[in-house]
Amino acid sequence: MFKESNNFKKFESKVWLSSPTMHGPEIEYVKEAYETNWMSTVGKNINEVERLACEYIGCKHAVALSAGTASLHLSMKLAGIEAYGMPKVGHGALEGKKVFCSDMTFDATVNPIVYEGGEPVFIDTEYDTWNMDPVALEKAFKIYPDTKVVVIAHLYGTPGKIDELNAIIKKHGAILVEDAAESMGATYKGVQTGTFGKYNTISFNGNKIITGSSGGCFLTNDEEAANKVRKWSTQARENAAWYQHEELGYNYRMSNVVAGVVRGQFPYLDEHIAQKKAIYERYKEGLKDLPVSMNPMDLEISEPNYWLSCLIINEDAMCKQVRGEQDVCYVKEAGKTCPTEILEAIASINAEGRPIWKPMHMQPIYRLNPFIVRDGNGRARSNAYIAGGVADVGMDIFARGLCLPSDNKMTAEQQDRIIEVIRACFE
């Protein structure tokens, strides 16, 4: 356990990992929805959110939905129909088909594949960006050459190796579905994430770079696809005077009230990114002489949105740490630490950090799914890893990494105290 002998003073108010930051206009748009009685899933706020998303991201069509997960689900349905044809009623569009997807991500990236009857095949991570490894993806196509859908997430707001990944996807005639839920506002070679796939998703969840408390947007340049999503998201009602239904639909449309919050947040997106960048740079400077490194960013080709600042402990500076399914223990060693100790230390002063996303191939629900690494033969074991970038990079990052308090309302003084606490863990 972390010793509080250093007597670090606790924060009176909790410093959060990443909480909503409101500015004032949001409540006015919500009030407008209330006063005009547009409280359902139609209204000016929704129209404005879709317009603003297209304008900022640089796509032709946006459909405002109840969550980023809803957008990913309908993206899976679209991709499945395009690749394999219209399914029978009661069957998913990806029924029995394999889909390649990022391994180190939140399960909202992956679950929609299963909603549509598909089987996720997890592609290992690479150290350069902590995103999908192009070498492992190419290997996956050699093992499963009939796969036609690939889902890529941009971890913690840092774009993956989009050109390399997309070249492989196009070479094999597959469809890219881009999960930009964490990377809204990030660019790759000057182009916004959320535009590289045929079907793309951004999120306005409560902890995202801008928020509506919930919500997300489906983004595409395909007008027919946008119209399909708009129809499916309102229970697939046909254009008739009565309720006519000819295909399966969903209750996925964004509320005009939620849209009011998102509408009020949009003008502050660049400001939030700048604040998050300053937090990242302060951590990098304050921790530079410790045996750690920050989540990697190749600023020559991309500009992240710095959603979460993370660190990874050097392998030779790790004390012994063992994680079970829900429990963890470690043995403290002089001059060494581990993510668990640092997280306990941060929590002891009333600040919130969290572990890196546990890779999907390690999750009990998906542990028997195929998992592709760039080196070695067969599926890497889910209870061990080979360090040095050989097998199971995602597990290595999970074992040695953690997410730091990254709230854009955190003051420099508060962050300095967090840095001091982290430094004490290495004593």
Supply angle C-alpha 398, 404, 410, rounded to 5.
165
pLDDT tens string 390-404: 469 999 999 999 999
Classify 372 as helix, strand or coil. Answer: strand
- pLDDT tier for residue 1 given thresholds of 50, 70 and 90: low
> Can you tell me the mean pLDDT for 172-181?
98
Q: What is the CATH number of domain 25-267?
A: 3.40.640.10
> Can you tell me the mean pLDDT for 114-124?
98
pLDDT tens string 267-323: 999 999 999 999 999 999 999 999 999 999 989 999 999 999 999 999 999 999 999
Largest CA distance in the chain: 74
Task: Specify the CATH class of 4-20+269-424 in words.
Answer: alpha beta
Q: How far is CA 159 from the centre of its chain?
A: 11
Pair of tokens at residue 193: 């994430």
**High-pLDDT (> 70) share of the chain, %:** 95
Q: How far apart are the first and last CA of the chain?
A: 14
Q: Which residue has the tokens 């508060």?
A: 414
Supply angle C-alpha 94, 99, 104, rounded to 5.
135
d(CA 131, CA 135): 12
> Can you tell me the mean pLDDT for 362-379?
84
Q: Which of 2-16, 148-162, 364-378 has the highest mean pLDDT?
A: 148-162
Q: State the catalytic residues.
A: 208
The 292-294 sheet, strands edge to edge: 292-294, 310-313, 401-403, 354-355
> Can you tell me the mean pLDDT for 336-347?
97
d(CA 201, CA 67): 9
Higher-pLDDT residue of 1 and 19 is 19
Higher-pLDDT residue of 48 and 388 is 48
**High-pLDDT (> 90) share of the chain, %:** 93
- pLDDT tier for residue 379 given thresholds of 50, 70 and 90: very low
Query: Is 4 exposed, middle or buried (CB count within 10 Å of its CB: 0-12, 13-18, 19+)?
Result: middle
Instruction: Provide the residue ranges of all domains of the chain, joining segments of one domain with +.
Output: 4-20+269-424, 25-267
Pair of tokens at residue 418: 């967090």
Closest residue by Cα to residue 293 from 400, 192, 386: 400
Residue 387: its pLDDT value, please?
A: 40
pLDDT tens string 87-117: 988 899 999 999 999 999 999 999 999 999 9
Question: Alpha-carbon torsion 180, 360, 146, 248, what sign?
Answer: negative
Query: Is 59 exposed, middle or buried (CB count within 10 Å of its CB: 0-12, 13-18, 19+)?
Result: buried
- pLDDT tier for residue 361 given thresholds of 50, 70 and 90: very high
Cα–Cα separations (whole angstroms), residue 379 to 100, 121, 384? 15, 11, 12
Residue 8: its pLDDT value, please?
A: 86
> Is 402 in contact with 356 (CB distance < 8 Å)?
yes
